[in-house]
């Protein structure tokens, strides 16, 4: 597989579509972030074993100086995260800043944690698994999710399940619930604000021009009794003690890997209703996860739906 570029990837926004995915860097890598920044970023960076360098936003416009950015980017910089509570969508960048971003930016969908030998890495993947045998990568658009019940035996996922398992960090995810004909979106996340660790699979697909496309899928399963009141299925959230065995490429026993999916980490999850703006995928900003005025966070097992 072709080696990745030494130029750091620039992430303008933390979210893409209805699923807000986070997580940057790996052991030995540095991640440049703006300051102030979102608290969840530190947990994502720590999950991958990376360290953080800071570029301070200067009030009142909350812009950063190009000299500060150049000083922060070093030989170990893997990602430059140009996102903060004061700069959520890149709208406050100057023309020069955006020109710099354009030169550095590498467009990818999501980031996933994998293992290279004994070292955890976090790399960019397109969301939608494309098996190595596929003739056309467009097949990936139908494979964003893999059902836990069948992935060990289904040809599309069987090989990746044995050798190419990954973890996809996320702030949270949306599910929709219909009550008396009214469809409402709910944002599901941890009560402590830490990122979720979705179980995932990844693949490498070689194009006719010998370039490689790395893709991934999120594994879903039946929702537990408490969450099933909201939706019958959900992404499988891995507990921290299962991360190492899940990522272990030498663990090829089907039953062992399946067993890691059987007890998802759902005890700390909570949810709240959000506005209808989230129903349009063109909308992508932090306020999408703001609770409706009539709703508030609550523990799993105490649902207030509809």
Is a pLDDT exceeding 70 seen at residue 182? yes
Question: What are the structural domains of the chain?
Answer: 9-107 (3.40.640.10), 111-299 (3.90.1680.10)
Q: What angle do CA 119, 122, 123 make, to 5 degrees?
A: 125
pLDDT at 41 over 80: no
pLDDT for 64 equals 65
Instruction: Give me the mean pLDDT over the 176-198 stretch.
Output: 91
CA dihedral 230, 235, 239, 242 (to 10 degrees): 150
pLDDT of residue 301: 41
Give 241: exposed, middle or buried? Use CB within 10 Å, 0-12, 13-18, 19+.
exposed
What does the pLDDT look like over 101-128, one tens digit per residue?
444 433 346 889 998 887 888 888 888 8
Tell me the β-bridge partners of 202: 216
Whole-structure pTM value: 0.64
Write out pLDDT tens, residues 268-303.
999 999 999 888 766 767 888 999 876 655 443 444
Choice among 2-6, 86-90, 292-296 with the minimum mean pLDDT: 2-6
């Amino acid at each position: 597989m072709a080696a990745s570029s030494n130029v750091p990837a620039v992430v303008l926004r933390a979210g893409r579509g209805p699923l807000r995915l986070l997580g940057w860097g790996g052991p030995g890598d540095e991640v440049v972030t703006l300051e102030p920044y979102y608290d969840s970023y530190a947990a994502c960076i720590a999950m991958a074993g990376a360290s953080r360098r800071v570029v301070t936003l200067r009030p009142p416009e909350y812009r950063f100086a190009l000299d500060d950015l150049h000083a922060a980017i070093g030989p170990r910089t893997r990602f430059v995260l140009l996102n903060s509570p004061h700069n959520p969508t890149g709208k406050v960048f100057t023309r020069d800043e955006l020109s710099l971003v354009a030169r550095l930016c590498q467009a990818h969908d999501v980031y996933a944690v994998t293992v290279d030998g004994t070292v955890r890495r976090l790399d960019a993947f397109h969301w939608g698994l494309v098996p190595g045998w596929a003739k056309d990568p467009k097949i990936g658009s139908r494979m964003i999710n893999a059902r836990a019940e069948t992935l060990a035996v289904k040809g599309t996922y069987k090989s990746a399940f044995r050798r190419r398992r990954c973890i996809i960090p996320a702030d949270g995810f949306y599910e929709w619930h219909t009550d008396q004909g009214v469809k409402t979106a709910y944002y599901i996340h941890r009560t402590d604000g830490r990122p979720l660790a979705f179980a995932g699979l990844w693949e490498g697909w070689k194009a006719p021009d010998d370039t490689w496309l790395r893709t991934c899928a999120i594994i879903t399963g039946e929702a537990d009794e408490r969450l099933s009141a909201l939706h019958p299925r959900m992404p499988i959230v891995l507990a921290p003690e299962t991360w190492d065995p899940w990522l272990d490429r030498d663990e090829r026993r089907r039953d062992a890997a399946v067993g890691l999916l059987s007890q998802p980490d759902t005890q700390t999850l909570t949810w709240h209703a959000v506005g209808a703006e989230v129903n349009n995928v063109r909308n992508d900003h932090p306020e999408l996860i703001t609770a409706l005025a009539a709703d508030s966070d609550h523990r799993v097992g105490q649902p207030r739906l509809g």
